[in-house]
């Protein structure tokens, strides 16, 4: 398998991995704010919560588009197999994201129906996150693919397993942790104290969820079991587990010391450890349990043509992202919401 490795599919995996990581972190905290919305009843608190995300939320989703377009161009077999296998959760995710987007735009202008847009914002965030977790769990669990015909050969509800439901719930906890840590950075006073209160239990839940996934995945996936049973996979997974535990303890320790930015950075670190664990477990497989990035790749000419464009687009989007966060830096307060 590894003898056939070439540079372009690996480069594309790195590009798509970067886009997915950026989307998970950046849109993750805006979804997390929506998940926590029901726990903040006051209108002013909810206005401030929306104010922390409203200048950047639509730009955050650019990364999802980049990841999806790159996946379509570089690994078309992934589209041909993953989409039919996961139509229902993917459509549910898109509909929920639309609901959330409508709430973002209309809530600030509506007084009579604001409670409905609050509900749409929160429900959209929870359902979209759960659907994303279902998709992740369905892919990790493995897809029934006809290798000769190169298409999905399973049933329409194959994705609905106890494992995928668990990953959906786990991602809700994860994004809620991202949202709470983001509000710790961007707010102050009573709303910040309430956000701090969410960080400790959510950190422990996320660490527990990562441990459950780490135990559950090799039970139903022989390839992952073999990867984790041999060197260097076993060593890398032990190192990642130690890093995850250290990050979690450091996050909890930072709550009493009020280390705002450090807490948010370490929560991001937890998510990156999770993504690194997936890479260690499955590389070079992109459609578990069998199809590798080399089998799923488009022609070298197509990949090269696309990568030239992405080498221009990625720095532009990175620059735009950094600049937008720089412009809207600082605390969000009720009295300066008009700036957002």
Q: Give the 3-state secondary structure of 2-55.
A: HHHCCHHHHHHHHHHHHHHHHHHHHHHHHHHHHHHHHHCCCHHHHHHHHHHHCC
Give the model's pLDDT for residue 3.
46
**What is the pTM for the complete model shown?**
0.93
Give me the average pLDDT of each 10-residue run along the chain (340 residues).
70 94 94 94 89 86 91 90 92 92 83 87 95 94 80 87 96 97 94 95 96 90 86 92 96 90 95 94 90 91 90 93 91 74
Give the model's pLDDT for residue 104.
81
Give the model's pLDDT for residue 4.
53
Give the model's pLDDT for residue 127.
97
Give the model's pLDDT for residue 5.
58
């Amino acid at each position: 398998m590894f003898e056939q490795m070439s540079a372009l599919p690996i480069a594309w995996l790195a590009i798509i991995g970067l886009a997915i990581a950026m989307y998970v972190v950046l849109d993750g905290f805006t979804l997390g704010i929506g998940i926590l919305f029901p726990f903040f009843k006051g209108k002013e608190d909810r206005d401030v919560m929306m104010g922390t995300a409203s200048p950047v939320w639509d730009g955050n989703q650019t990364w999802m588009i980049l990841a999806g377009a790159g996946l379509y161009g570089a690994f078309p077999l992934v589209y041909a197999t993953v989409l039919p296998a996961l139509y229902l959760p993917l459509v549910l995710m898109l509909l929920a994201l639309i609901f959330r987007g409508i709430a973002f735009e209309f809530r600030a202008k509506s007084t009579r129906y604001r409670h409905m847009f609050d509900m749409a914002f929160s429900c959209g965030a929870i359902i979209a996150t759960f659907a994303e977790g279902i998709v992740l769990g369905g892919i990790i669990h493995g897809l029934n693919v006809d290798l000769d015909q190169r298409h999905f050969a399973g049933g329409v509800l194959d994705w609905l397993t106890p494992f995928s439901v668990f990953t959906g719930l786990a991602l809700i906890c994860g994004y809620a942790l991202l949202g709470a840590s983001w509000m710790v950075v961007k707010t102050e006073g009573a709303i910040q104290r309430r956000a701090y209160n969410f960080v400790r239990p959510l950190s422990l839940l996320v660490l527990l969820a990562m441990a459950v996934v780490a135990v559950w995945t090799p039970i139903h996936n022989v390839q992952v079991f073999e990867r984790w049973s041999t060197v260097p996979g076993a060593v890398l997974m032990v190192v990642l587990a130690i890093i995850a535990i250290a990050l979690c303890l450091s996050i909890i320790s930072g709550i009493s010391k009020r280390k705002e930015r450090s807490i948010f950075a370490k929560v991001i670190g937890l998510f990156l450890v999770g993504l690194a664990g997936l890479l260690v477990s499955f590389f070079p497989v992109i459609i578990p349990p069998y199809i590798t990035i080399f089998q799923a790749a488009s022609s070298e000419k197509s990949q090269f043509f696309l990568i030239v464009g992405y080498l221009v687009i990625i720095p532009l989007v990175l620059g735009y992202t950094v600049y937008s966060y720089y412009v809207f830096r600082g605390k969000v307060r009720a009295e300066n919401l008009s700036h957002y």
